[in-house]
Structure 1
């Protein structure tokens, strides 16, 4: 497949439905985790124009910054800290309509207003998280959760 992304227009669901097969094609047959995470982050950022899209991977009991698109980010996050660390600890997706109201939020960027974090789980173990930030309040919802959870299921570790 050529590495060109077809940017979709329409409803959020329609955009995800067109994007997901493209993500699958981008990562199909590529065994390198970093390359795949980089392409997934880029595809999501290109399609939706969010402020920040990226991955944190668990290394030595910390979330360590992985491939991302957007402003510079926090490098390490402890379990239970901030939205990412809380998603890891709870092993569930978290949608935060206003990060200023999230107890213990880690402000990697002062531009971030809302956030969704989706854990990457294999065999009941969290291996990392997909983190997405927006400058808009209350941007993320159950539709984003559904499709982003489907996307992280495609990641091969």
Structure 2
């Protein structure tokens, strides 16, 4: 059984090191990518402050399809290249948006979201999905968050088989 530790008293770097360690322990020997994404999304949502959505989108046939998440209901399909999630897939790099209303082409799945961090999931340099975090706070995410979620994405990918077709 995993006891979720909140990390409010730690530095952001230490918090992400702890979150990454908790994620590795939670995923353990499980290889199913959907089960692992569900547990990773729940852990992220409950550990990181000021989130209103945390989850995965899976790339299928040129579209990002909603995967496991925590938060309000979300957009089900996002074309690759559209919105913050689609841009992260197209650019094959993380995108941090301080104010989503200033991002051209932002797709508003939840009107309460004000900032967003999207980290692509890359297998051998090929995008297979994204981890998407939303916050109702403008400027919620910074470079430390990007680095921390990129490390968590690497743990997730190493612990999981490829998504089923």
Tell me if TM exceeds 0.5.
yes
1:29 maps onto 2:29 in alignment: yes
**Residues 1-157 of structure 1: pairs in structure 2 closer than 5 A:** 2-9=1-8, 10-49=10-49, 50-155=51-156, 156=160, 157=162
Q: Quote how far apart the aligned CAs of 1:25 are.
A: 0.6
State how far apart, in whole Å, the 2-side matches of 1:117 and 1:8 are. 21
Aligned residues: 156
Q: Quote how far apart the aligned CAs of 1:16 are.
A: 1.2
Unaligned runs of 5+ in 2: none
RMSD over equivalenced CA pairs, Å = 0.9
Structure number with greater CO (CA < 8 Å, separation at least 6) is 2
CA deviation digits over 1:41-99, x for unaligned, max 9? Answer: 11111111311000000112100000000010000000110000000011010000000
TM-score, length basis structure 2? 0.91
Q: Displaced runs of 4+ in structure 1, greater than 3 A?
A: none
State how far apart, in whole Å, the 2-side matches of 1:52 and 1:136 are. 12
Q: Quote how far apart the aligned CAs of 1:3 are.
A: 2.8
